[in-house]
């Protein structure tokens, strides 16, 4: 048959199908439902905590799309059988095939209609509510991935069910299928996940064509979950459904599946299964993985090395790093080391989630072992002097640092490259207190970084060309996601695109830090510090996902992980507890009693504010913390009040000495039982 | 068209058992009781069903080449309907495009609408047509594109007498210049329309021939018995009652029997129906 004739046939069939569609009651019922859903959704946009949350929690719209699609499909494909004209099409050359193809096309046309009408309405609503421009296109993509594609998949599955099943039992079956495919699945699977059946629920979730977690909030750093892999998996499922339905048209009434269909469907299942296993499992079950991670750190105390305390084994003089991203990271690190002591192994900190593939010194293989986050390189070749340690490793960073192949953050405060041993990469007593161990090398080193991926990334080093950076720093921060970069007052701010106002706020915050941080360093650590960073990274959502609040000051950049208010406002006077914790924290800090730490943090902050050093307006007052502690540990609260009154009676110099004593105790690790006596001892 | 050793099984049931029909042309009738295999045979010829074995040939064309076969057939299934929401013209114009009618589609559809006498219903929705009109629409779509072979499965069943008559005339006209394969269990229809008839019984061909040839089979086997008891046929062995009429105070009973069933039975001329009944009940009569 000539192409022109085929085109004419399909066009005529699509016209007929559309004519039948708009003359059917079911279409108008579904159209009314769609506009009601859209209206309800639009109403929910301004009341959502953040605009994007209206979308991320729109599982109910998706479920309606899936259920509506599957029933529409059944109704459309069973029409010929119900109207007794099915056999006619089987006796006209290619007529049945064209009918089937036209039905698929009409489902796609309806999908496009949903996309266009939905997008226009949403854009109008955004415009009226003055929503930031960065939301527009991703929201359209969200509608396509979470509303339209599920509708199309379920519509075509419905078409197949409509021709394959001839009894009314198809309707309850379709309803059950729509639930199984829908975003309610994770909710149903949650008990399984909590009961340790995480793996099972992950497999279960692979069939979910809606939101993986319909109650999750939008991430300011990563935006909507629009991973390329999710698109691929869903388009694979869609293709599989189309092949299954077209197969039915080709084999006509014979209940068999053609070899070619079988091969194609098998390939699609394998491809989507592989991608699903690597993507959906990894991304959507952070909770599960996070819980495992926390358990890991609680159950595996830091290994004890005699070598660790020996600073005279080696020194890092430079890094040459090649980074490739994807479903996991592949990193190659050439580390220039100056080895002083050949009799002892070199110990580094590298997050244990990375698996070492290669390890050699100057091209000669060398023995290594890992104990948790400790990477121990045995110097069997008795090398001394300058050498190049070459490592390649593969893996994913933990917690919320990785969301998708194009959404990740590798901060300089996390051991994603081997650094001189500083203990564990994370301190994770509980989910709520998982903190980076701030392992970035304390001294400045020359870094060279080459990025092989395809994403637009932002790096703390100086850009030499598109994907190559160099710089002297104490750590590298690199990220990909919903970020943008803007210069203001000579400072480059990498900020979440949803909150462009963060640029000015971050710069103001830095000005406040400029006045407080050097004083804190000098008073407590006896060090001088330059806070005139040229780059600021604003990572609010990393904070939201249990990585702990903090202001991390590296040599050439600052990472702001601080709370934002509901409107995305970055508090400019946030130089409070987060700052103190990240500056003053040492190894013993984590072993100290939680209340004891809080007493120090809030009492010292109170002192800094009263002296005009800090402008912090963030968080609770010292009094409210004491009230809170008093509910649990009255004696500790009373001792804290005495200590507070005592330091108030001192002059500034004595106050500083008081807090230095307090900090020294804290960094030794004061247990809960020792805390009252420790406070009394500071008062003397 | 020739059908050679055609077989079709539904599980263990032999729906068609080595069916052979030669030289199908003009209006060819397939008659048989319900379950004889008429619809299965029609659906195989219409390419809706696959055969298990055997051959169907039309000239050089084998039924193994479904694509080509579908270009030369028109089919009206036993249960025919069309989209209720479409008009008669919309249905036919759509079918004309699918059938790749090369001539002006509007005039072609007008022609078939006129042929089946649905001019005044051309713009009416299919849902508003009577059963007979829907069958006529079925014929109209089947003859669109001038197919060489028209397959019509029991088109007259369930129609009122007037529609039936109209249908017979229509099929006779259509069959004038093409092969029409027509199945029915109404013998009068076959007698009225068909040039040749094949009698099917339990998946077997009992006979293929003209109506006269089928009638001829029963010659000397049909008897008329005058009796006061209408059940007289039931009381006699090895006969099949074919008709029973009241006559005066008694009854005239027509029956099929190999031999004179009783002394007052007189031999009469058989009808096509009796020829058909003789073929399918021959074994009972011989027993």
Q: Please state the three-class secondary structure of B187-216 as a single string.
A: HHHHHHHCCEEEEEECCEEEEEECHHHHHH
Q: Which of B50, B82, B151 sits opposite A85 (nearest CB)?
A: B82
Q: Across residues A184-190, what is the average pLDDT? A: 68
Asked if A237 and A210 count as a contact pair (C-beta separation under 8 A), the reply is: no
Contacts of B100 in chain A (CB under 8 A): 5, 93
Contacts of B43 in chain A (CB under 8 A): 87
SS3 B279: helix
B80–A85 C-beta distance less than 8 A: yes
CA B103 vs. chain centroid, Å, equals 31
Contacts of B139 in chain A (CB under 8 A): none
A95–B48 C-beta distance less than 8 A: no
Asked if A362 and A388 count as a contact pair (C-beta separation under 8 A), the reply is: yes
Residues of A near B (Cβ–Cβ under 8 Å) read: 5, 8-9, 12-13, 16, 19-20, 23-24, 79, 83-85, 87-95, 98, 252-254
* Cα–Cα distances in angstroms (integers) from residue A594 to residues A155, A241, A299, A429, A433, in the given order: 55, 55, 19, 10, 10
Q: Across residues A290-302, what is the average pLDDT? A: 72
Q: Across residues A130-151, what is the average pLDDT? A: 92
Q: Across residues A572-582, what is the average pLDDT? A: 64
Q: Across the strands, what pairs with A336?
A: A318, A388
* Cα–Cα distances in angstroms (integers) from residue B41 to residues A514, B19, B35, B49, B213, in the given order: 94, 9, 11, 9, 22
Per-residue pLDDT tens for A381-438? 778 889 999 999 998 887 778 877 788 889 888 889 998 887 777 766 554 455 565 5
At residue A381, the pLDDT reads 76
Report the distance separating Cα B188 and Cα B165, nearest Å. 11
Of A288 and A128, the one with more pLDDT: A128
> What is the side-by-side strand order in the sheet with A329-339?
A364-365, A354-361, A385-395, A329-339, A314-324, A445-451, A468-473, A462-465
Per-residue pLDDT tens for A625-681? 888 888 888 888 888 888 888 888 888 888 888 888 888 888 777 777 888 888 888
SS3 A136: helix
Close Cβ partners of A460 (under 8 Å, ≥ 6 residues apart): A412, A471, A473, A475, A476, A477, A478, A535, A537, A554, A556, A557
Asked if A478 and A470 count as a contact pair (C-beta separation under 8 A), the reply is: no
Asked if B189 and B247 sit in the same domain, the reply is no
pLDDT at position A564 over 70: no
Least confident range of A423-427, A530-534, A573-577, A635-639: A573-577
Q: Across the strands, what pairs with B40?
A: none
Dmax (CA) for chain A in angstroms is 102
Q: Which of A8, A85, A253 sits opposite B97 (nearest CB)?
A: A8
Report the distance separating Cα B59 and Cα A47, nearest Å. 75
Asked if B264 and B281 sit in the same domain, the reply is yes
Q: Chain A residue closest to B72 (CA)?
A: A92
At residue A582, the pLDDT reads 67
The continuous run of DSSP H or E covering A31 comes out as: helix A25-47
Q: Which of B70, B80, B100 sits opposite A5 (nearest CB)?
A: B100
Q: How far is A69 from chain B (nearest CA, A)?
A: 22
Specify the number of domains making up chain B. 2
Q: Is the pTM of this model over 0.95?
A: no
A24–B90 C-beta distance less than 8 A: no
Asked if B188 and B249 sit in the same domain, the reply is no
State the ipTM, two decimals. Answer: 0.87
Asked if A536 and A493 count as a contact pair (C-beta separation under 8 A), the reply is: yes
Report the distance separating Cα B87 and Cα A595, nearest Å. 82
Strands (E), A421-549: 426-427, 435-436, 445-451, 458-459, 462-465, 468-473, 478-480, 483-488, 491-496, 535-538
Please say whether the structural domain A312-481 has been given the CATH code 2.60.40.1120: no
Q: Which of B47, B84, B90 sits opposite A91 (nearest CB)?
A: B47
Asked if B247 and B180 sit in the same domain, the reply is no
Cβ contacts below 8 Å, chain A against chain B, sum to 72
Per-residue pLDDT tens for B120-134? 999 999 999 998 899
Report the distance separating Cα A546 and Cα A541, nearest Å. 9
A136, A139, A140, A143 alpha-carbon torsion, rounded to 10°: -160
- The radius of gyration of chain A from alpha carbons, rounded to an integer in Å, stands at 30
If pLDDT is split at 50, 70 and 90, which confidence band does A513 have? confident
Of A245 and A200, the one with more pLDDT: A245
pLDDT at position A278 over 80: no
Q: How far is B71 from chain A (nearest CA, A)?
A: 6
Asked if B174 and B112 count as a contact pair (C-beta separation under 8 A), the reply is: no
Number of residues assigned to chain B: 287
Asked if B124 and B90 sit in the same domain, the reply is yes
> What is the side-by-side strand order in the sheet with B73-76?
B73-76, B149-153, B179-184, B27-31, B196-201, B204-209
Number of helices (H), then strands (E), belonging to chain B: the values are 10, 14
pLDDT at position A10 over 50: yes
Number of residues assigned to chain A: 684
B100–A91 C-beta distance less than 8 A: no
Q: Chain B residue closest to A93 (CA)?
A: B70
Domain ranges of chain A: 3-284, 312-481, 488-574, 586-684
A253–B48 C-beta distance less than 8 A: yes
Long-range contacts of range B263-267, CB-CB < 8 Å, 24 or more positions apart? Answer: B264/B225, B264/B226, B264/B227, B265/B223, B265/B224, B265/B225, B266/B223, B266/B224, B267/B220, B267/B222, B267/B223, B267/B224
Helix axis angle, A95-128 relative to A59-77, nearest 10°?
A: 160
At residue A589, the pLDDT reads 67
For chain B, which ranges sit under pLDDT 50?
none
CA A578 vs. chain centroid, Å, equals 21
Of A623 and A35, the one with more pLDDT: A35
Least confident range of A165-169, A214-218, A601-605, B38-42: A214-218
- B156 lies in which domain range? 2-214
**Domain's final residue, options B165, B192, B214:** B214
Asked if B179 and B263 sit in the same domain, the reply is no
Strands (E), A489-581: 491-496, 535-538, 550-553, 557-561
**Domain's final residue, options B176, B196, B214:** B214
Q: What is the DSSP letter of A304?
A: P
Given phi > 0 = left and psi -120 to 50 = alpha, else beta, which region is A479? beta
At residue A586, the pLDDT reads 65
Per-residue pLDDT tens for A331-390? 999 999 998 888 888 888 898 889 999 999 988 888 898 888 888 888 887 788 899 999
Asked if B150 and B113 sit in the same domain, the reply is yes
B85–A91 C-beta distance less than 8 A: no
Report the distance separating Cα A227 and Cα A249, nearest Å. 33
């Amino acid at each position: 048959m000539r192409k022109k004739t085929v085109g004419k046939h399909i066009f005529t069939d699509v016209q007929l199908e559309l004519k039948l569609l708009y003359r059917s009651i079911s279409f108008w019922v579904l159209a009314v439902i769609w506009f009601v859903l859209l209206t309800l959704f639009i109403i929910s946009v301004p009341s959502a905590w953040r605009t994007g949350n209206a979308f991320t929690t729109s599982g109910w719209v998706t479920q309606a799309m899936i259920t509506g699609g599957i029933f529409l499909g059944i109704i459309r494909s069973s029409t010929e059988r119900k109207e007794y004209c099915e056999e006619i099409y089987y006796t006209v050359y290619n007529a049945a095939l064209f009918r089937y193809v036209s039905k698929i096309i009409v489902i796609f046309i309806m999908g496009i209609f949903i996309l266009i009408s939905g997008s226009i309405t949403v854009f109008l609503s955004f415009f009226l509510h003055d929503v930031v421009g960065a939301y527009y296109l991703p929201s359209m993509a969200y509608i396509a991935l979470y509303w339209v594609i599920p509708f199309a998949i379920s519509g075509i599955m419905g078409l197949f069910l409509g021709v394959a099943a001839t009894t009314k039992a198809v309707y309850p079956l379709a309803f059950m299928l729509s639930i199984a495919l829908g975003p309610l699945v994770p909710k149903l699977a949650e008990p399984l996940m909590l009961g340790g059946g995480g793996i099972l629920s992950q497999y279960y979730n692979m069939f979910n064509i809606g939101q993986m977690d319909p109650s999750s909030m939008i991430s300011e750093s990563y935006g909507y979950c629009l991973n390329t892999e999710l698109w691929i998996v869903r388009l694979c499922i869609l293709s599989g459904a189309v092949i299954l339905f077209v197969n039915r048209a080709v084999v006509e009434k014979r209940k068999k599946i053609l070899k070619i269909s079988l091969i194609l469907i098998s390939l699609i299942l394998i491809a989507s299964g592989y991608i699903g296993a690597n993507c959906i499992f990894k991304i959507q079950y952070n909770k599960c993985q996070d819980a495992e991670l926390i358990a890991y750190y609680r159950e595996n105390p830091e290994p004890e090395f005699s070598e660790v305390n020996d600073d005279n084994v080696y020194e890092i003089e430079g890094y040459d790093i090649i980074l490739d991203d994807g479903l996991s990271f592949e990193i190659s690190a050439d580390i220039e080391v100056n080895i002083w002591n050949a009799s002892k192994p070199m110990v580094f900190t590298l997050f244990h989630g990375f698996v070492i593939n290669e390890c050699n010194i100057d091209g000669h293989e060398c023995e290594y072992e890992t104990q948790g986050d400790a990477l121990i390189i045995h110097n069997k070749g008795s090398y001394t002097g300058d050498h190049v340690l070459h490592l390649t490793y593969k893996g994913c960073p933990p917690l919320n640092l990785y969301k998708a192949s194009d959404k990740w953050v590798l901060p300089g405060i996390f051991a994603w490259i081997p650094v001189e041993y500083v203990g564990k990469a994370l301190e994770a007593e509980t989910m709520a207190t998982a903190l980076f161990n701030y392992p970035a090398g304390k001294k400045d080193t020359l870094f060279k970084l080459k990025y092989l991926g395809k994403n637009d990334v932002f790096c703390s080093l100086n850009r030499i060309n598109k994907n190559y950076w160099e710089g002297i720093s104490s750590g590298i921060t690199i990220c990909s996601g919903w970020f943008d970069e803007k210069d203001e007052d000579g400072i480059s701010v990498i900020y979440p695109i949803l909150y462009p106002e963060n640029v000015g706020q971050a710069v103001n915050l830095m000005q406040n830090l400029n006045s407080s941080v050097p004083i804190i360093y000098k008073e407590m650590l006896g060090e001088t510090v330059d806070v005139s960073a040229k780059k600021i990274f604003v990572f609010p959502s990393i904070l939201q996902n249990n990585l702990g609040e903090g202001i991390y000051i590296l040599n050439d950049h600052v990472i702001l992980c601080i709370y934002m208010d509901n409107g995305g406002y970055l508090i400019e006077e946030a130089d409070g507890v987060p700052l103190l914790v990240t500056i003053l924290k040492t190894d013993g800090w984590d072993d100290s009693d939680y209340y004891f730490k809080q007493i120090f943090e809030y009492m010292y902050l109170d002192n800094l504010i009263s002296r005009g050093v800090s402008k912090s307006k963030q968080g609770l007052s010292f009094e409210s913390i004491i009230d809170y502690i008093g509910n649990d540990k009255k004696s500790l609260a009373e001792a804290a009040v005495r200590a507070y009154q005592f330091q108030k009676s001192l002059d500034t110099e004595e106050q500083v000495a008081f807090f230095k004593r307090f900090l020294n105790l804290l960094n030794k690790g004061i247990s809960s039982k020792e805390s009252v006596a420790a406070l009394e001892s500071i008062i003397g | 068209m020739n059908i050679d050793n055609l077989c079709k099984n539904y599980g263990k049931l032999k729906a068609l058992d080595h069916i052979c029909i030669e030289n199908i042309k003009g209006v060819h009738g397939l008659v048989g009781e319900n379950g004889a295999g008429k619809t299965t045979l029609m659906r195989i010829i219409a390419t809706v069903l696959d055969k298990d074995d055997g051959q169907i040939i039309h000239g050089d064309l084998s039924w193994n080449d479904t694509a080509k076969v579908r270009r030369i057939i028109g089919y009206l299934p036993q249960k025919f309907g069309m989209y209720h929401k479409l008009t008669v013209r919309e249905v036919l114009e759509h079918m004309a495009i699918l059938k790749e009618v090369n001539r002006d589609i509007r005039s072609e559809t007008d022609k078939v609408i006129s042929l089946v006498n649905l001019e005044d219903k051309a713009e009416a929705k299919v849902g508003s047509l009577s059963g007979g009109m829907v069958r006529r629409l079925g014929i109209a779509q089947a003859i669109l594109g001038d197919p060489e072979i028209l397959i019509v499965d029991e088109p007259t069943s369930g129609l009122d007498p007037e529609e039936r008559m109209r249908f017979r005339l229509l099929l006779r006209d259509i069959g004038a210049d093409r092969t029409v394969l027509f199945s029915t269990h109404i013998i009068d229809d076959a007698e009225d329309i068909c040039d040749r008839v094949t009698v099917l019984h339990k998946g077997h061909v009992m006979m293929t021939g003209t109506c006269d040839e089928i009638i001829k089979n029963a010659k000397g086997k049909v008897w008329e018995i005058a009796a006061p008891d209408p059940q007289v046929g039931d009381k006699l062995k090895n006969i099949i009652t074919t008709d029973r009429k009241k006559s005066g105070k008694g009854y005239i009973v027509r029956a099929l029997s190999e031999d004179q069933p009783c002394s007052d039975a007189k031999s009469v001329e058989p009808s096509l129906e009796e020829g058909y009944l003789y073929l399918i009940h021959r074994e009972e009569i011989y027993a």
